[in-house]
Amino acid sequence: MVRLLHAAALAVGLLLATTSTNGQQPTSVCGDCAEWNARQEPFRIVGNTYYVGPRGLSAILITSDAGHVLLDGALPESAAGIASSVRALGFTVGDIRLIVNSHVHFDHAGAIAELQRVSGASVAATSWSAGVLRTGAVPRSDPQFGVISPIAAIPNVRTIGDRETLRIGSIAITAHETPGHTPGGTSWTWQSCEDSRCVDFVYADSLTPVSADEFQFTRSREYPNALSDFERSFARLSSLQCDILLTPHPSASRFWQRVDKRQVTGSVDDIIDTGGCARYVDNARERLLQRVKLEEAGRASK
Ligand SMILES: [Zn+2]
């Protein structure tokens, strides 16, 4: 049973997490945090899109001559590594002008406050998430309320709308509300070109129905639209042009397998997977279905 629970926790990424401050360096205490935060050499994915996160948590840098965009900030303790990855690629942290986020949990937004401080970037988020980022507190409408740690509050967060496109220099990145994992989940799309070829990136937010024990996606007073939100997100992600799927946890989109293959062949074709978004949605739909069945069976047995 313990093993089963552990396997389940690993599968869903559910964490009992706290953050302690050990001198300057915050340290998250969670089952997978150390492994997630393992050092990863930064590299170009395609064109002006680079991977700058640790091995287990994505952080994506999109560059332009007029400044850069950073997508996601991993764990609180990931800030220094992300900044050094940006520098290792030859870019300047102070040239990051915009930071955006998939969802507000500590493992994807934990370093944003610090990265904003060192870069001077603005932070933009869709409405629900912007409210959370400003306080750092986990709200009751978050399915993981009570089991995950808060994040450092981010002083200035601009609220943006669904489908709004943000521009920095030649970069145009569009927000897509894809709620469910949190009520404010946001996916992002942009194009990057290499040689004469342009590819459509989709950074799809987590779509796993992970929660605190007492939370039910089928009937939550705090998050009554959870199921219809998931459906809305599935429809939206299915509608996007998707050459390269990226996800907050790289493993969720088989990213490293694609990167490794490209490493061998040198061909961009090996990192492209036009069916990636459809498979991601199919998996998420199946996981949600299983979760709904479990909740219904749990109620029936009471
Ligand atoms: Zn999460």
CA-closest candidate to residue 13, choices 219, 283, 248? 248
In angstroms, what is the span from residue 228 Cα to ligand 1's centroid?
Answer: 18
Proportion of the chain above pLDDT 90, given as a percent: 87
In angstroms, what is the span from residue 275 Cα to ligand 1's centroid?
Answer: 24
pLDDT, one tens digit per residue, over 80-139 is 999 999 999 999 999 999 999 999 999 999 999 999 999 999 999 999 999 999 999 999
For 213-227, what is the mean pLDDT?
Answer: 97
Mean pLDDT of the chain: 92
For residue 161, name the pLDDT band (cuts at 50, 70, 90): very high
Q: What pTM was computed for the model?
A: 0.92
In angstroms, what is the span from residue 176 Cα to ligand 1's centroid?
Answer: 17
In angstroms, what is the span from residue 206 Cα to ligand 1's centroid?
Answer: 7
Q: What is the pLDDT of residue 11?
A: 37
pLDDT, one tens digit per residue, over 21-71 is 555 567 787 889 999 999 999 999 999 999 999 999 999 999 999 999 999
Query: Which residues, by Cβ under 5 Å, contact ligand 1, an ion?
Result: 105
Beta strands in the chain (DSSP E): 18-22, 25-29, 43-46, 49-51, 60-62, 68-71, 96-100, 122-126, 157-160, 165-168, 171-177, 186-194, 197-203, 244-246
For residue 19, name the pLDDT band (cuts at 50, 70, 90): low
Q: Are strands 60-62 and 49-51 parallel, antiparallel or unpaired?
A: antiparallel
Distance CA 154, CA 148 (A): 18
Task: Indicate whether 6 pLDDT > 90.
Answer: no
In angstroms, what is the span from residue 108 Cα to ligand 1's centroid?
Answer: 7
